[in-house]
Chain A
Amino acid sequence: MPSDPHQKARFLIDESLIAGIARDDERWLRRHTGECRDCARYEELTSRIVGELNSLAFEIDSGMSARVQHAIARHALRRNSAPHWRWGLAAAALLIAAAPIYKTMTDKRREAEIERADALLLERVDARLSQALPTAMEPLTAPAPAQTAPGGRIR
């Protein structure tokens, strides 16, 4: 707050219009402007300017409000029709995201089938082997008959 009484008064005059002042300051200001003609004139001029600012007339195009409302309605309509293509876009995104998942699942199923076929094949090979092997081995495992050399001598 300025220490010079006139500066203080002018600051308070402005401040009272800008943000309001304390009751004590208001009383002091009334006393000061009652005695100081310059500050009273300053206050009168400031009030006049602020009053004029407050009442500045302004003419506007009468159709503008309707045009603005029309623009809002148009925008709202566009917004409401937007969900159709948005859903389409979401579905496409879902499809794109789902493709790798589907491929992984198919690959896994195919791998499982191949494994199952391999196991079956091995099982069958095993079974055949277990049947064929003893028959093939028979001549080797059976006791050999005694062979007689010509002339009645045992070799």
Chain B
Amino acid sequence: MPVDAMPFIEPAETESRRIVRGLHRKDVALINELVGRYHYRLVRYLFYLTARRERVEDLVQETWVRVLRSGAQFDGRSRFETWLFSIARNLAIDDLRKRKIDSLDTPDAALPEVPSAGELRALDQSSPFLATARSEDAVRLAAALGLLEPIYREVLLLRFQEDLSLREISKVVGAPVPTVSSRIHRGLDLLRSRWQGGANAV
């Protein structure tokens, strides 16, 4: 390996170790730094997952408090955002369950720990996405996203918006990699047909 290639590996390792050490010490200064760094992505993820702007701030706060409280559980073997998103997702699902929104779908029998499509759909209110759209394409995409089943929307956003690998998405959503892959394929199919449907409607 060329000597000048080393610094590209070393800082990332050091950064990961620094986060692990800081979280183990419950270092508030480090957590505030992480809030600054991941705030936008966390808010965006929770917004697109829950489609409820009014619940997002509480969930974001709870997520960071959980990071502070359970920081010792982060071992640095995965990227910090993978761990962060999985905490946020679990809190969003717990929040949904606490609110006792009735599921319309049967739960996924193979993955009982994963919320059912109905539970995730119950989070969905489709319209908030349109408010964020800036261009004609963005409006069309936001409309198509709003109509999409949340289990597909979630994996599409984690893959193409958050740039997580299939393995990382699998950790966040608690589903096997092949399931994640097939959900993304299916999600893209649905998005394409709705995008084209929207275009034809216009």
Q: How far is the CB of A18 from chain B (nearest CB, A)?
A: 5
Cα–Cα, bound, A18→B57 (Å): 31
> Which A residue sits closest to B58, measured CB to CB?
A71
Residues of B within 8 A of A53 (CB): 141, 156-157, 160-161
Contact between A72 and B32 (Cβ–Cβ < 8 Å)? yes
Interface membership of A14, Cβ < 8 A: yes
Interface membership of B105, Cβ < 8 A: no
Interface membership of B83, Cβ < 8 A: no
Stretch in A23-31, A61-69, A118-126 with 4+ CB within 8 Å of B: A61-69
Interface membership of B103, Cβ < 8 A: no
> Which A residue sits closest to B160, measured CB to CB?
A53
Contact between B57 and A76 (Cβ–Cβ < 8 Å)? no
Question: Which B residues, 156 to 171, have Cβ-Cβ distances below 8 Å to chain A?
Answer: 156-157, 159-161, 166
Q: A76-B26, A76-B28 are in contact. Are A18 and B40 (CB under 8 A)?
A: no
Cα–Cα, bound, A69→B67 (Å): 12
Contact between A45 and B195 (Cβ–Cβ < 8 Å)? yes
Residues of B within 8 A of A42 (CB): 192
Contact between A54 and B137 (Cβ–Cβ < 8 Å)? no
Residues of A within 8 A of B43 (CB): 58, 60, 64
Q: How far is the CB of B87 from chain A (nearest CB, A)?
A: 14
Cα–Cα, bound, A19→B166 (Å): 7
Interface membership of B65, Cβ < 8 A: yes
Cα–Cα, bound, A46→B134 (Å): 20
Q: A64-B39, A79-B26 are in contact. Are A57 and B132 (CB under 8 A)?
A: yes
Cα–Cα, bound, A71→B181 (Å): 37
Residues of B within 8 A of A71 (CB): 61, 64-65
Q: How far is the CB of A63 from chain B (nearest CB, A)?
A: 10
Interface membership of B96, Cβ < 8 A: no
Residues of A within 8 A of B32 (CB): 69, 72-73
- Interface 0/1 of A21-53, CB less than 8 Å to B: 000000000000000000000100110111011
Contact between A18 and B159 (Cβ–Cβ < 8 Å)? yes
Q: A14-B185, A46-B188 are in contact. Are A75 and B65 (CB under 8 A)?
A: yes
A interface, size bucket: 20 to 34
- Interface 0/1 of B30-59, CB less than 8 Å to A: 011001100110011001000000000100
Question: Which B residues, 7 to 24, have Cβ-Cβ distances below 8 Å to chain A?
Answer: none
Contact between A18 and B181 (Cβ–Cβ < 8 Å)? yes
Contact between A58 and B159 (Cβ–Cβ < 8 Å)? no
Interface membership of B68, Cβ < 8 A: yes
Residues of B within 8 A of A52 (CB): 137-138, 141
Interface membership of B93, Cβ < 8 A: no
Chain B residues with CB under 8 Å of chain A are 26, 28, 31-32, 35-36, 39-40, 43-44, 47, 57, 60-61, 64-65, 68-69, 132-134, 137-138, 141-142, 156-157, 159-161, 166, 181, 184-185, 188, 191-192, 195-196
Chain A residues with CB under 8 Å of chain B are 11, 14-15, 17-19, 42, 45-46, 48-50, 52-54, 56-61, 64-65, 67-69, 71-73, 75-76, 79
User: A17-B160, A68-B61 given. 19 additional CB < 8 A pairs?
Assistant: A11-B185, A15-B185, A18-B166, A18-B181, A42-B192, A46-B188, A46-B192, A48-B137, A49-B141, A49-B195, A50-B160, A56-B133, A60-B44, A68-B60, A69-B32, A69-B35, A76-B28, A76-B68, A79-B26
